[in-house]
């Protein structure tokens, strides 16, 4: 009995007005994001570096073409997010969030450890392990943050804000220190640093488990009306001719993709067919037209999400390469490492997050348009304008053979403001519109949409070898602005289909807690 009381006292212990468990998760996520963004920042540069010893002061790379490197970058960053769907399912159905985060952290450490090796097999194996590790850790650690607070606890939002700072602190530290380590000791030292900090995150998590005893455990209940059976959902496909025919057509499309584009795209299209079939059955299963209308609006908003991240993720790909080869990076006689420019996004987020949030809050108090869809559309437009500065950079390079770093700084600034308007808002929008029964699954679909955006980013980057940076940057600018304006144009009918969901800001679902500020950098 005494031991039970001691355990409860440990778990209820607070620091600065919040459960100590929050800071355990804060540090775990911070170091995980350090490892991920450190990898993201150097990946394309490493792949395109020459294999000739001494050709680059950072060491030998893989010697790939920019097109090949950007292609793999797109697959890697897509799979990291797409794996959130099976990662969430494993936690929900088999082992719970707490064990999923633990196993994910261990797999991440193994992945980064393998990447220290210089062999080609180690490169692919390491990337695969990182993908699996992030897939287990990412969707579940945010859910655990929500579990630290009882329903109705007014500290919840502040807790997520603290957690959100951890995400961006990890990103900021990674892009500074990995850059310095790579500059001094080479690429594999950068991979090694990412692995070391992930090991620190794992140790922190294990030592802090005593503060997380009642959080993230699997709860199996009997005859729970909100329990989702994926097998049952898919079995319903065979009871409806329309859904069955639609699914068969999608499977055939995946086979065509397999034949013409290769097995990787075939598997991607097959995965999309399976998700599409699942979404169709969810729509059919919804009880009222109100929920069906809201579900349609959510899926339409995901189109904007894919387009946004397809443009935004040029930061780690095409813009990264442009920074390395075509930007004057010398400041006061010191050449700034290419990777360090990636820190601008995280730095701007930390500085401007509260300012952007306050702007929208004041706008809403004044009775002006401040709906989630409007914010997301404006975020897409603002982010798009960031590429206008990259157009100016490309023009300057064509004229003088080099471009100023001021264009990159302005581009990252506009990208960040756009991100702050869209990413946290999109996550919150899902919590308002998603049916209780499918809230977690739809959140996983959101992460998959983010992943598809990452793949689109890779494809767009690959096209630069044919069309040139100027055309690509101009095309992204025009397309994103047009899409944002289009969504503003159809804003009223979309808002009608939400049936006033955003007018009930105080209501939320228990299953949806933990996602309000889950992640805004992905």
Q: Are residues 297 and 152 located together in one domain of the fold?
A: no
| φ/ψ (deg, to 5) at 370 | -150, 35
Tell me if 441 is assigned to some domain. Answer: yes
Convert the pLDDT of each residue in 114-134 to its tens digit. Answer: 988 878 888 899 999 999 998
334 contact partners, CB below 8 Å, separation of at least 6: none
Q: Are residues 256 and 327 located together in one domain of the fold?
A: no
**In whole angstroms, what is the distance from residue 158 CA to residue 414 CA?**
26
pLDDT of residue 262: 73
Query: Could you count the other beta carbons within 10 Å of the beta carbon of residue 450?
Result: 27
Tell me if 521 is assigned to some domain. Answer: no
Q: Are residues 430 and 447 located together in one domain of the fold?
A: yes
Return the minimum-mean-pLDDT range out of 62-76, 81-95, 262-276, 287-301. Answer: 262-276
Tell me if 522 is assigned to some domain. Answer: no
Q: Are residues 115 and 260 located together in one domain of the fold?
A: no
Q: Is 334 helix (H, G, I), strand (E, B) or coil?
A: strand
Tell me if 356 is assigned to some domain. Answer: yes
Q: Are residues 12 and 141 located together in one domain of the fold?
A: yes
| φ/ψ (deg, to 5) at 298 | -60, -45
Mean pLDDT to the nearest integer, 185-195: 88
Q: What CATH number has the domain bearing residue 37?
A: 1.20.1250.20
Mean pLDDT to the nearest integer, 200-217: 87
Q: Is 403 helix (H, G, I), strand (E, B) or coil?
A: strand
Q: Is 404 helix (H, G, I), strand (E, B) or coil?
A: strand
Helices (H) and strands (E) in the chain, counts: 19, 6
Predicted TM-score (pTM) of this structure? 0.81
Q: Name the DSSP letter for residue 173.
A: H
Convert the pLDDT of each residue in 157-179 to its tens digit. Answer: 567 667 777 788 888 898 889 88
Which residue among 168, 196, 217 closes a domain? 217
Which residue among 254, 285, 316 closes a domain? 285
**In whole angstroms, what is the distance from residue 348 CA to residue 422 CA?**
15
Q: Are residues 281 and 136 located together in one domain of the fold?
A: no
**In whole angstroms, what is the distance from residue 215 CA to residue 520 CA?**
23
Mean pLDDT to the nearest integer, 474-492: 95
Nearest partner of 458 among 74, 76, 82, 81, judged by Cα = 74
Nearest partner of 271 among 413, 83, 44, judged by Cα = 83
pLDDT of residue 427: 72
**In whole angstroms, what is the distance from residue 426 CA to residue 236 CA?**
30
Q: Helix 120-147 vs helix 96-115: angle between axes, to the nearest 10 degrees? A: 150
Range of the domain at 76: 1-217
Tell me if 258 is assigned to some domain. Answer: yes
Which of 509 and 299 is assigned the larger pLDDT? 299
Convert the pLDDT of each residue in 352-364 to its tens digit. Answer: 888 888 888 888 8
Q: Name the DSSP letter for residue 372.
A: H
Q: Are residues 116 and 66 located together in one domain of the fold?
A: yes
Mean pLDDT to the nearest integer, 20-25: 86
Convert the pLDDT of each residue in 443-477 to its tens digit. Answer: 778 888 888 898 888 888 888 878 888 999 999 99
Tell me if 337 is assigned to some domain. Answer: yes
Tell me if 124 is assigned to some domain. Answer: yes
Nearest partner of 70 among 314, 263, 391, 305, judged by Cα = 314
Q: Are residues 125 and 265 located together in one domain of the fold?
A: no
What residues pair up with 328 in beta bridges, in sequence order?
404
Mean pLDDT to the nearest integer, 31-47: 88
Q: Residues 68, 220: contact at Cβ < 8 Å?
A: no
Angle formed at CA 310 by CA 428 and CA 48, multiple of 5 degrees: 135
| φ/ψ (deg, to 5) at 310 | -60, -35
Q: Name the DSSP letter for residue 93.
A: I
What residues pair up with 331 in beta bridges, in sequence order?
334
Q: Are residues 276 and 297 located together in one domain of the fold?
A: no
Which residue among 270, 285, 300 closes a domain? 285
Convert the pLDDT of each residue in 366-422 to its tens digit. Answer: 888 888 899 999 999 999 999 999 999 999 999 998 999 999 999 999 999 999 898
Q: Residues 426, 301: contact at Cβ < 8 Å?
A: yes
Query: Is the confidence at residue 7, as pLDDT, over 70?
Result: no
For the chain, the domain total comes to 3
Where is 18: in which H helix or E strand?
strand 18-19
Which of 476 and 439 is assigned the larger pLDDT? 476
Convert the pLDDT of each residue in 219-253 to its tens digit. Answer: 655 455 555 566 666 666 666 666 677 667 767 87
Q: Name the DSSP letter for residue 95.
A: I
Q: Are residues 176 and 188 located together in one domain of the fold?
A: yes
Q: Are residues 144 and 6 located together in one domain of the fold?
A: yes
Q: Are strands 327-328 and 403-404 parallel, antiparallel or unpaired?
A: parallel
Residue with tokens 């769907």: 85
Query: Is the confidence at residue 214, as pLDDT, over 70?
Result: yes
Angle formed at CA 380 by CA 47 and CA 472, multiple of 5 degrees: 45
Q: Are residues 278 and 297 located together in one domain of the fold?
A: no
Query: Could you count the other beta carbons within 10 Å of the beta carbon of residue 368?
Result: 10
């Amino acid at each position: 009995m005494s031991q039970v009381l001691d355990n409860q006292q440990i778990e209820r212990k607070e620091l600065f007005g919040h459960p100590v468990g929050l800071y355990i998760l804060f540090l775990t996520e911070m170091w995980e994001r350090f490892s991920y963004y450190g990898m993201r920042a150097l990946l394309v540069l490493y792949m395109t570096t020459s294999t000739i010893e001494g050709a680059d002061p950072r060491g030998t790379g893989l010697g790939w073409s920019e097109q090949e490197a950007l292609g793999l970058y797109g697959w890697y960053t897509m799979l990291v997010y797409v794996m959130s769907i099976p990662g969430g399912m494993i936690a929900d159905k088999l082992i719970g969030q707490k064990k999923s985060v633990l196993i994910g952290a261990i797999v991440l450490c193994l992945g980064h450890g393998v990447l220290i090796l210089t062999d080609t097999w180690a490169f692919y194996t390491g990337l695969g392990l990182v993908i699996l590790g992030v897939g287990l850790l990412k969707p579940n650690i945010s859910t655990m943050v929500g579990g630290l607070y009882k329903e109705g606890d007014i500290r919840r939002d502040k807790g997520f804000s603290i957690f959100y700072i951890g995400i961006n602190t990890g990103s900021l530290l990674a892009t500074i220190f990995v850059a310095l380590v790579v500059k001094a000791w080479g690429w594999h030292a950068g991979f090694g640093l990412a692995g070391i900090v992930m090991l620190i995150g794992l140790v922190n998590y294990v030592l802090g488990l005593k503060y997380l005893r009642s959080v993230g455990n699997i709860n199996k209940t009997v005859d729970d009306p909100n329990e989702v059976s994926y097998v049952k959902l898919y079995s319903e496909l065979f009871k409806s001719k329309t859904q069955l025919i639609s699914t068969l057509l999608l499977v055939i499309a995946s086979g065509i993709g397999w034949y013409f584009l290769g097995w990787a795209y075939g598997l991607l299209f097959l995965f999309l067919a399976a998700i599409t079939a699942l979404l169709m059955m969810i729509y059919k299963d919804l009880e009222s037209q109100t929920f069906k209308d809201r579900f349609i609006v959510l899926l339409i908003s995901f189109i904007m999400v894919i387009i946004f991240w397809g443009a935004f993720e040029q930061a780690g790909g095409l813009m990264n390469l442009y920074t390395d080869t075509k930007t004057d990076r010398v400041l006061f006689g010191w050449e700034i490492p290419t990777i360090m420019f990636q820190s601008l996004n995280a730095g701007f987020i930390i500085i401007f997050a509260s300012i952007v949030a306050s702007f929208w809050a004041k706008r809403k108090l004044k009775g002006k348009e401040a709906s989630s869809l409007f914010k997301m559309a404006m975020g897409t437009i603002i982010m798009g304008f960031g590429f206008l500065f990259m157009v100016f950079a490309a023009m300057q390079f064509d004229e003088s053979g080099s471009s100023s770093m001021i264009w990159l700084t302005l581009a990252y600034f506009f990208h960040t403001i756009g991100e702050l308007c869209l990413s946290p808002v999109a996550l919150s929008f899902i919590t308002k519109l998603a049916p209780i029964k499918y809230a977690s699954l739809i959140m996983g679909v959101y992460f998959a949409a983010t992943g598809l955006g990452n793949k689109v980013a890779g494809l767009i980057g690959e096209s630069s070898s044919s069309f040139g940076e100027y055309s690509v940057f101009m095309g992204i600018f025009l397309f994103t602005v047009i899409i944002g304006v289009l969504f503003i144009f159809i804003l009223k009918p979309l808002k009608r289909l939400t049936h006033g969901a955003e007018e009930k800001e105080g209501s939320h679902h228990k299953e949806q807690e933990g996602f309000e500020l889950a992640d805004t950098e992905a």
